[in-house]
Amino acid sequence: MRQRKVKNLDMLLAACDAWAVKDPKTHKGSWRKLFADPSLPLYVEIGSGKGRFICEMARLHPDVNFLAVEGGAKINVRILQKAKDWNLSNLLVIMEYIEDARDFFAEGELDGIYLNFSDPWPKARNAKRRLTHRNKLAAYEACAADGAVLQFKTDNDALFAFSLDEIRSRGLLIRWVTRDLHHSPYAARNVETEYELKFSAKGKSINCLQAVLKR
């Protein structure tokens, strides 16, 4: 994602301090305690961009706690800004890249993971960097509570095909798949991301799937 200069970055970060998690790895196993209501389920989006999706999800679902994860400095501050403007008490932001989910989350800690328009890493030699690579899936599975779901959407047909193969290679149950999310039964509950708005405006259909990480 293109990173524009953010005016008064330090001031902005200070104003939104309450939503930014410091030293995120130290919260492994105790994430729920950081939220106003620790009894709620915990969902994570890895690669939140400017946070349109995760902030809207937090607003629509006050009965769920959400973690936005975005490593891009200057982008992740946009998530903080939205969380503050909307005074979201069920959203926190991890301002780091997550390479291995097990470094950040304990066994069974997550109720769901969203991957939206993840970077495609098109060259074969970079396949292991894709967020749906089988090694990453194995890490998500280790952090998943019983019944936890993985939801993935992308405009990129090759990445989607790759991801389906990887998910099958892990033996995960695929609950549903659509190649045209906006004209599917799942459209009504769909919350669009920044990239989704951009690509669907160009006429690109959106692929989406939901799989169960732990049964």
Q: Is 107 in the site for ligand SAM (CB under 6 A)?
A: no
User: Which residues inside 17-46 make contact with ligand SAM, applying CB under 6 A?
Assistant: 46
Q: Which of 58, 66, 67, 70 binds ligand SAM (CB under 6 A)?
A: 70
Q: Is 111 in the site for ligand SAM (CB under 6 A)?
A: no
User: Any residues with CB less than 8 A from the CB of 121 and at least 6 apart, and which?
Assistant: 127, 129, 130
Q: Which of 119, 200, 205, 210 binds ligand SAM (CB under 6 A)?
A: 119
Q: Is 154 in the site for ligand SAM (CB under 6 A)?
A: no
Q: Is 176 in the site for ligand SAM (CB under 6 A)?
A: no
Of 111, 119, 146, 157, catalytic:
119
Closest to 204 in 3D by CA, of 176, 179, 177:
179
Q: Does 63 qualify as catalytic in the annotation?
A: no
Give the distance from CA 172 to its chain's centroid: 19
Stretch near ligand SAM under the rule CB under 6 A, chosen from 13-21, 83-91, 168-176, 189-197: 189-197
Q: What is the CA radius of gyration of the chain?
A: 16
User: Any residues with CB less than 8 A from the CB of 5 and at least 6 apart, and which?
Assistant: 74
Q: Is 195 in the site for ligand SAM (CB under 6 A)?
A: yes
Q: Which of 34, 41, 72, 199 binds ligand SAM (CB under 6 A)?
A: 72
Neighbours of 186 (CB within 10 A): 17
Q: Which of 1, 6, 40, 127 binds ligand SAM (CB under 6 A)?
A: 1
Task: Give the C-alpha separation, 106 to 32, whole Å.
Answer: 11
Task: Give the C-alpha separation, 162 to 170, whole Å.
Answer: 13
